[in-house]
Amino acid sequence: MDIEANNILTVPVLPLRGLVVFPKTLIHFDVGRKKSITAINTAMKDNQTIFLAAQKDAAKNEPSIIDLYIVGVIAKVVQVLKQPENTTRIVIEGIKRARIISPVFDENCLMASVEPIEEIIEPASARDSAVIRTVKSEFEKYLELSPKMPPDIIFKVALCKSSGELADFIASNLVIDYQQKQSVLEILDPTERLSSLLDVLVNENYILKLENEITRKAKMHVDDGQREYFLREQKRVIEEELGEDDSPSDEADSYAQRIEELHLDEKSQETLFKECRKLMKMPYGSQESSVIRTYLDTVLDLPWNKSSKEKIVISKIRKELDKSHFGLEKIKERIVEQLAVKKLSDKQKGQIICLVGPPGVGKTSIAQSIANAIGRKSQRIALGGVKDEAEIRGHRRTYIGSMPGRIMAAIQNAGTNNPLLILDEIDKLSSDYKGDPTSALLEVLDSEQNNKYVDHFIDIPFDLSNVMFITTANDLSAIPAPLRDRMEVIELNSYTREEKYNIAKKHLIPKQLDLCGFSPKEIKFTQKGIYSIIDYYTREAGVRTLERTIASIFRKCAVQKLENGVESFKIDEKAVEKLLGNKKYLPETFLKTDEVGVVNGLAWTQVGGELLPIEVAVMDGNGKLVLTGSLGDVMQESAKIAITCIRSHADVLGINPDFYKTKDIHIHAPEGAVPKDGPSAGVTMATAIYSALSNKPVRHDVAMTGEITLRGKVLPIGGLKEKSMAAYRHKISTVIIPEQNKTDLSEIDNAVKENVDFIPVDNIKDIISIATLDSEKISNAKWNRINIPFENQENTPTIRQ
C-alpha cells in the first residue's frame, strides 16, 4: 500500500458480485476469480488492506474499475483459507468508507487510488433519538416477520449508540437487494442515512406482512380440504353403524354393471366386485380410490369376449403372401398348413412359430403380412434389451405407477382376444436383479398353459390360447432351451443372388419409385444394372443395404432431373458405377488352371455362400504342421484329421508313408484376416494334402464340401443352398457333396441345377478320383486296409497351432 498526499491510498481492489460490505462488519465469502485472488495475495503482502466495491452489473465476469460503484469500503483481510476447486475463502472486516479517485494500471489485478471518507460525528438531537428508537422498533418487527435470525443481532442493535453505526449494522443484516444496500452505503450524513434506512425497513415490513397473509390464506384452504376429508370419514362410519353402506354409489354401480356384461368366470367376477365394494366406501379424492379406478378401467377395457373374424381362403392367402414377399417358401407353407387345419377344426389352438435368420431377410415383415392375409389384428412387441420380468408379467398394484405387462398391453391395443403378436428379437432378452424375462415368457409361449395366463397387474386369468404368436431371432443358440422347446423353429437362410434380384425387381424398385415420385417410364433398371448393385455394392444376408443403395440411386436421379432437366434414366452397369462411384466389393479371384495343392472349397457365411480355396505346400523338414488363415478350433481339428486320414491310407494312395517324418506341411486359407471355422472344409483339406504329396493337380472347375473322418468317410454339412449358389456364381461346373446331403438338392435353385453337376460321395477316395488328374483307380479292398506306422513315437509329427 502506497500512501500519497492528501491521505490518498493506492490499494488492490476486490470487486463484489451481489454483495455490499459496511464499515465495522465482519464477513466471510468465497473468491474464485483469478484477478480477485491475486488482489487478496497482494493485500496480504502489504498491511492486509484492500478496497471492496460492488459491481454495477453482477453478471459481468471480468469487470474493470469503471464497472464498479465509486463508494466502497476499505477493509482488512483477517484470514485466508484455501478451498477445493480453485476457490479461496476469506474472512474480512470493513474499516471505513472510501471512494475511488482514479484507477492504477496493474496487469495482474485491479488497483486504484482511493480516498477514505471520515465519519461525521455530531451531537445527537431529540429528532435523532426519535429516529433511532423508531428504527429499532421497526427492526424488531422485521425480525418477527422475517425468517429466524441469530439472537445476538438484537443485543448488538441495543449497543449501537450513534445513528451512522446503527444504520450500517442494520443495513448489513437486512435481506434486501444489493442496490438498496449500496444506496445506504453512499449516504455520508449519519442522520440522513438512518432516515433512508427507516423507509427501507417500513417497506420491507409491509411486504413481509402481505407474504404472511398470503401464506395464511393458502394454509386455510389446505385445512378446509382436511376438514372435508374428516367429515366424509365420519359420514362413512355413521352409514356403517346405521347399516346404510350397502347402497352402491353411481360410479360403483356403473362398474358392477360392466362386470356383469363380461360374463367372466365366478372367481374373476367376485374379485372385481370386491374392488367395486372397496371403491364405494372410499372418499372420492383418496389416493387408493384412484388406484382402484385405474385397475377396473384397465381390466374392463380388455377384449375378454371380442374376437376378430378370420377370413381363411387358402388360395387368397397364398396370393397375398406371394405378393408381399418373394421366396420364404418354408414359412408360407407352414402358415398355410396351420390355417388349413384351423379352417377345418376350431380345436386347433394358437401355435408358436420362431423365425430364425440373419438380419434383413424379412422376418418381421412376413409376420405382419401373415396378419393382413388372414384378417387378424397384429401388434409388434420389441423385446431387445428388456431386462425386467415385470415388462412381461406386469407390476403388482401395490407399486406406484404400476401397469400391465407388454403382452396384456398389446392385446388391449389390438382390441381383440385373438390377435397375432410378433415378439421381435426374442434372442436379445437379458436378465438382472429384477428377474429373468425369458422365464416369464415360458407360460406365455406354452399353448398348454396360457389359457389361464395371469398378469400381475390384472390379477385374474386371461385366455391367450387363441393368440397366434410369431417370434423372431437372429441367433437360435442365444434362446434358452426351455423357451426354445416351446416354439416351432423355422430357419430363414440368407438370400441368394437370384432371390435378391427378384426382390429388387418386384418389390424394392417399385417401392422407391413410389416414395421418390418417379414413374416407371422415367427410371428403368436393366438386369445387369441390378446384378451390378448386388455384386459390387452390397455384401449382406438380407436386402436392407440393397434397398438403401437403390434409394441412393433414386436420390441422385432426382437431383439430375431438377438441376439438368433429365427426363429419363437407364440404370445399367455403367450408370450404376457412375452414380455410386467405384465398386466397393471386387469379384473374387478364380482358378483358371489346374494346380497342385490348391482345391476349391465352399463355405457358408451370414451374407451367403463363398468360394474358399485351400492351399497346401509340402517342404522338406521333420514333420511340422503349420496352419494359417485365421482358422478356428474346429477347422484346425479338421486339418489334423485330414493329415491322419491321408497318412493312414498312404500305401493305398501311392504316396510315401514316411512323409510325416521327412516333410513339413503348410495349410493356408486365403484372406487371412477373415476368421474361418467349421468342419465342412475337411474333404477340401484332405484332397489338397493328397495333391501336394502326390504332385497331382486338381481340377480347377471342381468345388467340394463335406466333413471328413479318420476313416475317410464324408459326413453331411449345412448351408448347401448358399454354397451351391457360390459355385454357380464362380462358374464351377462340378460340385462334390456328401451322400447324405442328396435330400437337400430339392432346395437348390433351378438356375443352379441347370448349370452345375452335383456328385454325392460318401468316401474320400471317390473325391480324389473325381477331383485329381491322372489318379489311379483305388479299390475298396485296398482302401479299407488302414496302416499307421507307430514304431517310433518320437517321430510323430509336431503340430503347431
For residue 165, how many C-alpha atoms fall within 13 Å in the half-sphere facing its CB? 11
DSSP strands (E only) in 310-351: none
Out of 35, 363, 663, 723, which one is annotated catalytic?
723
For residue 245, how many C-alpha atoms fall within 13 Å in the half-sphere facing its CB? 18
Residue 594 makes CB contacts below 8 A (sequence gap 6+) with 697, 698, 699, 700, 773
Pick from 349, 318, 323: nearest CA to 335: 318
Residue 299 makes CB contacts below 8 A (sequence gap 6+) with 272, 458, 460
User: Euclidean distance between the first and final Cα of the chain, in Å?
Assistant: 82
What's CA 479's distance to the chain center, in Å?
Answer: 20
Grid cell digits, residue 549: 443403395
Task: Please confirm, yes or no, whether 196 is among the known catalytic residues.
Answer: no
Beta bridge partners of 27: 92
Is-contact 787 759, C-beta < 8 A?
no
Pick from 435, 403, 437: nearest CA to 423: 437
Q: How far is CA 381 from CA 58, 356, 364, 454, in A?
A: 55, 16, 11, 18
Out of 369, 680, 724, 775, which one is annotated catalytic?
680
Classify strands 9-16 and 71-83 as parallel, antiparallel or unpaired: unpaired
Sheet holding 378-382, edge to edge: 378-382, 420-424, 468-473, 352-356, 488-491
Task: Please confirm, yes or no, whether 34 is among the known catalytic residues.
Answer: no
Pick from 544, 225, 198: nearest CA to 360: 544
Pick from 703, 747, 748: nearest CA to 725: 748
Q: What CA–CA distance (Å, rounded) separates 405 from 270?
A: 23
Q: DSSP string covering 634-646, please?
A: HHHHHHHHHHHHH
Residues with a catalytic annotation lie at 680, 723
